[in-house]
């Protein structure tokens, strides 16, 4: 992942929910080159937060490992 792609990903992580901002910024600090993250960032804030908080399992099966890492962040 090049610098421009990382900056785009960082920009997509800026969300309207403070909780998501905190989790996503921690995650990016640990996994700055995780291109898979961009796929889940297309979800609306509330849906994404429900997934990260463990209240929803409504995500693509191939993102299972990413969601586990986000939940641990």
Q: What is the CATH number of the domain that holds 59?
A: 1.10.150.250
Among candidate residues 17, 56, 63, 57, the one with its CA nearest the CA of residue 40: 63
What is the domain range of residue 48? Answer: 3-72
Q: Tokens at residue 28, please? A: 């990016």
Please give the pLDDT value at position 33: 86
The pTM (predicted TM-score) of the whole model is 0.86
Q: How many domains does the chain have?
A: 1
> pLDDT band at 20, cuts 50/70/90?
very high
Please give the pLDDT value at position 59: 94
pLDDT at 71 over 90: yes
54-69 confidence digits (pLDDT tens): 999 999 999 999 999 9
Please give the pLDDT value at position 69: 93
Task: Yes or no: say if 66 and 36 are a contact pair by the CB < 8 Å rule.
Answer: yes
């Amino acid at each position: 992942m090049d610098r421009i792609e990382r900056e785009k990903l960082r920009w997509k992580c800026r969300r309207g929910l403070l909780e998501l901002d905190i989790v996503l910024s921690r995650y990016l600090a640990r996994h700055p080159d995780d291109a898979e993250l961009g796929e889940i960032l297309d979800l609306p804030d509330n849906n994404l937060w429900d997934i990260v908080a463990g209240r929803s399992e409504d995500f693509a099966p191939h993102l299972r490992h990413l969601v586990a890492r986000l939940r641990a962040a």
